[in-house]
Chains A and B, each alone.
Chain A
Amino acid sequence: MSGDPSETVPLRASELSVGQHLGAPIVDNLTRTRIVQYAGASGDYNPIHTDERFATEAAGYPSVFAHGMLTMGLTGSALTDLVGVDRLTEYGARFVAQVWPGDTLTGDFEITAKRRIDGHDVIDLAITVTNQDGRKVLTGSATARVDP
């Protein structure tokens, strides 16, 4: 999402420190079409996400809103841009507030630990995604292999 993703340089444990924050934009002005695009690719056509009339008139929401898995997927893209596409060993998310059309999301990835598993260097990351009002929408964690 930022820069040229093919130029991802492997992170090196020796150059990282616990407590370090790595930030990344997640999405700017989320569109309804993006939500529909995710519905088509994932197969989750829940009209709560794809059908404004259903969402407002039948279900009582102010509008459609993003699949939690769309927010997790967008955040995952920022994460793999950061650590590399073949480096994740764990990735988890909690959907703490809904994401609405028009939202702009920013991710914060904090290094919470550096450790070794099965002879590999790994880092643990605490993930926080906030919207344009500073409200948390997703919290999560990830573990990624890094170079020594």
Chain B
Amino acid sequence: MTAERFPVEAGHIMMFARAVGAEHPAYHDPDDPATAAVGGILAPPTFVQASAQFDPDYFLRPKHGEPWFGSGAEASGVERTGGGGGGSGLHAEQHFTYHKPVRPGMVLHAVTRDGETWEKHSERAGRLVFRESITEYRDESDELVVTARSVGVKTEKVVNP
């Protein structure tokens, strides 16, 4: 996830909070005393994942005028290539370290670096290749706000229940 400019907006926090069933007033109501008690509106714990909205090249968002691998006239709009979906790439782990609250008005920038890579073998999925990436979200003063560590896995076979 690489968003050079991730403006944190109250409406986006509200929509994200609704999507994850986060009903505390601090996620949507600036006038509620419970919001004032925590210093104003803040974001739910996994919100920085939505920085994908501000990554101009994010590959899991359809872009106007470009082929998309989801269905249209056919079950898939393009030949499958690796990455993200299509039964080969899955999200295995996600970890967040919180340095300070994420609040509307902040403009974060995210810088991602590769972490470790390792392999396992499983009966269900065949050869598994794990790749770690670390993203640091910093504010306009370059202070660390959230550190995210993500682990993705590529499986040899489609994993069904």
Residues of B within 8 A of A56 (CB): 75
A44 lies within 8 A of B60 (CB): yes
B158 lies within 8 A of A74 (CB): no
Q: In the bound complex, what is the Cα–Cα distance between A72 and B19 (angstroms)?
A: 12
A80 lies within 8 A of B22 (CB): yes
Which residues A54-79 have CB closer than 8 A to chain B? 54, 56-62, 67-70, 72-74, 76-77, 79
Q: In the bound complex, what is the Cα–Cα distance between A72 and B75 (angstroms)?
A: 29
A47 lies within 8 A of B70 (CB): yes
Which residues A74-105 have CB closer than 8 A to chain B? 74, 76-77, 79-81, 84-86, 88-95, 97-98, 100
A41 lies within 8 A of B50 (CB): yes
Any A CB within 8 A of the CB of B81 = no
Given contacts A6-B34, A48-B86, contact A90 B19 (CB under 8 A): no
Query: How many residues of chain B have a CB within 8 Å of chain A?
Result: 57
Q: Interface segment, A15-23, A32-40, A108-116, A118-126? A: A32-40
Chain A contact residues (Cβ within 8 angstroms of B): what range?
35 or more
B94 lies within 8 A of A45 (CB): no
A80 lies within 8 A of B39 (CB): no
Which residues B12-69 have CB closer than 8 A to chain A? 12, 15-27, 32, 34, 38-39, 42, 44-46, 49-50, 52-53, 55, 58, 60-62, 68-69
Any B CB within 8 A of the CB of A5 = yes
Residues of A within 8 A of B91 (CB): 67-69, 95
